[in-house]
Structure 1
Amino acid sequence: MNEPNPFVDFIKTYKDEPTLFCENILGINPDKWQSELMKAIVSGERKISVRSAHGVGKSSVASWILIHTLLTHLDCKLIVTAPTSGQLFDALFAELKKWIGEMPQALQDLVDVKSDRVVLKSRSAEAFISARTSRKEQPEALAGVHSQGKVILLCDEASGIPEEVFESAAGSMSGHNVHTILLGNPTRNSGLFYDTHNKLKGAWKTFHISAFDSDRVSEDFVEEMAMRYGEESSAYKVRVLGEFAEETDDTIIPLELVDSAIQREIPSDHGVSDTIWALDVARHGADSSVLVKKQGNIITEIKTWKRLDLMELSGRVQAEFDTTEPENRPMEVYIDVIGMGYGVLDSLNAIGRLNAVGINVAESPSQKETYMNLRSELWFKFRSFLEAKMCKLPANEYMIADLVGVKYKFTAGGKIQVESKDQIKKRIGRSPDVADALVLLMAGDAIASRSGSYARDWKQPLVRDIKGVV
C-alpha cells in the first residue's frame, strides 16, 4: 500500500486559501486589502491593478502571491518585473527571498533559489518564478510567456514601466490562464497603469490603498510628509493618499520627472571632463548652505550645512575640492552671489585652488523675450534637463520637496517669472535651498567668459551666448 503524499494534502488545503497559507506557512496575518487581492487571483480575476501609498506592504503581498502560487500549482510560470534592476532585485526579489526563508524547512527544501529565479526542484522547467527588468530598449520582459498551467505577470512600480513593454506583452497578457497584476505608487498621469484606474477601469479589478488604510504606515511618516510637502502637494497625494496627482498649471517640475530621474539607471560618468559643482549659500539662520556635484548627467552628491559662517563654509568647500581625486575635480564651482554668497566667492578665489564663478540669478537672462530673470531661465533649463530623460538624481527627500514645490507665473509682459526665495519661504515655510543649488548647475550653458580665459572674475559682466541657446 502506497504511503499518502503529504504534498497532495498540502495543495488541497492551501490552493484556494492564500490567507490561510500566509498565516500557517509564512507566519503573517495579511491586511484586509492584501487578503482581498490574493483572493481575487484565486477567484480568477485576470487583470488587477493596485495603486497605493508608500509603505503599505505591496512588495510583501506580491511575494506571498508568488510563493503561494509556486507551491500550490505544479504548472506555473510566474514572471516578475520592475523598471530598474534596483527596484526589482534590491526591493521585490529581496522581499521574496526573505519570505521564502520564513517557510518551514521542509518547504524550503522543495525550491531552488537563484539570483534571478526561483524554481520548484521537481519541476524546474514547468514551475518557476523569473525576474526580468523592463527596459524600453529591451521590451520583451513579459513577451512570449505561455503555459498549460497558471501564468502570472506581476509588474512592480508599474507607473515607471515603459509602454513598449506592455505593448510587447499583449500576446502573453491575452491568454485565458494569464493573470496580469500591476502594483505601484501613482507617480505618472499617463500610460497603462494610469489608464487602468481611469478610462480602462471597467476592464480591470482595481485596488486603492492609502496610508490611512494600513497599520504598517506610521503616523510619524504621514506627519512628516505633511510638514515637508504640504497636504495639498502632489508628493503628499502620491506618497500618503495613493492618488494620481494632477499637476497644476503653475508647477515647474512635476513629481513624475523627479521620481523617474531617481530610479533611472544610466552608466556612471566617473572621470568625465565636464564635472561641475554649484553652491547655494544660506542667507538666514534656518536656511542651509547646499553644495551639489554633477559629473556628466549624474548628480553624484548633495551636501548641506547649517549655521556656518562664511569662512567656515569656504573652508568646507575648499576641503571637498582638495580631498576629491584630481580627475573628478570640478572645472568650475558656480556660486550664487546674491546675499552672503559674495563673501564665499571672494574667499575661495583668494585661495586660488579652484575656479569659483559668481552667478547673480537676479540679472537678465540670455532669452530675454521669454524669461524675467536668470533665475527663471535656470529653473526651466533644469526642467529640460530632466525631460531629456538621460540624467540621474540621488534619492533625497529634501531635494524632491524643493523641486516639486516651486511655482511660476507670467508677467504682464508675457515673460516667465519663477517665485523668489522669499516668496517660496513665505508660502511653504522654508527656503528651497537644495533645488536652488541644483538649478545653478545649469548656469554653465548660459554664460561665457568675457575675456576667454578659463578663470573668471565675478565682477565682470557675464557675456551671453550670442545665439541665445540655453
Structure 2
Amino acid sequence: MKVITIPYKPRPLWKDIIHPALDKYRFAVIVAHRRYGKTVGMINELSKSAIKNTLISPQFAYVAPFRNQAKMIAWNYLKYYTSAIPGRKVNESDLFIELPSKHKNAVGARIYIIGADKPDALRGTYWDGVVLDEYAQIKPELWGEVIRPALADRKGFAYFIGTPKGQNQFYEIYQRAQRSEEWFTCLYRADESGVLDEAELKSMMEDMTDIEIRQELYCDFTASASNVVIPIDLVTAAAHRLLQEKDVQGSPVILGVDVSRFGDDRTTIFKRQGLWVDVPLVYKGLDTMDTAARVINAINKNKADMTFIDSGAMGAGVIDRIRQLGYSNISEVNFGGKALAEHRYENIRAEMYFKMLEWLKSGGAIPDMPELKSELSIVEYKFSKHGKIILQPKEEIKEKIGKSPDLADGLALTFARPVYPRLKPGDPGYGRKMMCNTDYSIF
C-alpha cells in the first residue's frame, strides 16, 4: 500500500489529546486561545474523516459565521493540506474539495467551506461531519433546525470551536457539553498550551486590555460579563423555570412589539403575563398594513390589557393604523425617549432592559429559545457623559452577532411602563378599563 504523507504536523495537544478524543466522540466543544491552531487542526480532522469514510458520497462542512470569513480563514488551509492526496479535485466557485471515492461510479468525499450567512447551502441535504467555528456569531437556529437533523441519517459528527466572547450561546453549549458523557470538551489557555512562547505572549499582553487578555488568551467566558446587563446564567435559569398559577393569575396581559426596520430584521410580538412569557410571534418582510393586522390579531386573541410598540421607522405607521381602527390600549415607545427614572437611565431602552433584569431575578420564566437567550445575554451597558446608564448601540450588537436583537427588544418592550394589575370580582374599582400607569415610577 502506498503511503501518502500530508504536510500536517499536529501540535502535542492535538496529537495526544484532541485528535484521539475526536475518534471516540461524535460531538465536541473545543475552547482555545487565539493562535492555538483550531482551524488547522479541524481542517485536518475533516480531511482524515473524509478519507476514512466508507459510505457513498460523504459530505463534510467547515462553517464560519460568514462565507467570506470562512473562505479567508479555512479555504487555503484545506487546499494546502489536501494537496498531496492523488486524484483530489478543487472547486473554486463552490468552495469544496473532492477526494477520490471508495465506491465505483460514486461522487467522491467532499469537504465544503460554508458561511452561516448562507444557510440554504446547508439545508435539505445530509452531512457526515460539520465543524462550526465562532459559534457565538452563528444564528443558533442553524444548529437545531438545519445541521443537527442533517447529521441524523448517517450519524454524522459536529465539533464546535472558538474563543470566548462573553457568556453567550457558545458558552451555553460548552456548559451543556460538560454535563454530558456523550460530548468531549477541552479548554486551553495561552499560558498553558505551549503554543506561544513566553516572550511573544508578554509582547501581546502589552498591546491588549485586561478584558482582551482574559478573553482572548485566558479563555475567560466572564471577561466581559462585568458590563453585560443580563448574565447568561440568569437567562439559562429563566428558560428552565416551572411556574405556578399564582405567578400569572391576576396579572395584566402585556404585549411588546418590535417592528422590523429593513433587510433581515424581524417583527416580533411578545406576550407577558406576570412571571410568564409565551413563545413570540416572529415575522419577516411584512409591510405596515400586514404588521398592523398581525398586532391587532394578537391583541384580540390574547385580550391584551396594554400593547407597547416600538415607534421607530415602520413602527409609527403601524401605530397610526391600529389607532385608526379604534384600538386605544396601545402605547408607542421611542427607544431613545426619556426614561421614567431619568436620573438613572439615559433613555427608556436602558430602563426597559434593567427592569427586565429585575424581573428575571424575581423569578421570570422565558421560552427555551437559543436565539432569545443569546440576544438577552449579549447586550452590554456603560455610563454616558451625564453619568447615566446607556446600552450598547443596536448597530454594534448587529455587527457582533450578525443580526439585530429583535427578540430581546420585543421582550424588553413589555417593561416600557408599569401596567395596573388585573382586578378580581369584588375588588374596589373592578370593571374599570385597564390602562398604562404612566404616572407611577418604581424607582
TM-score, normalised by the number of residues in structure 1: 0.47
Larger radius of gyration: 1
Higher relative contact order (CA 8 A, sep 6+): 2
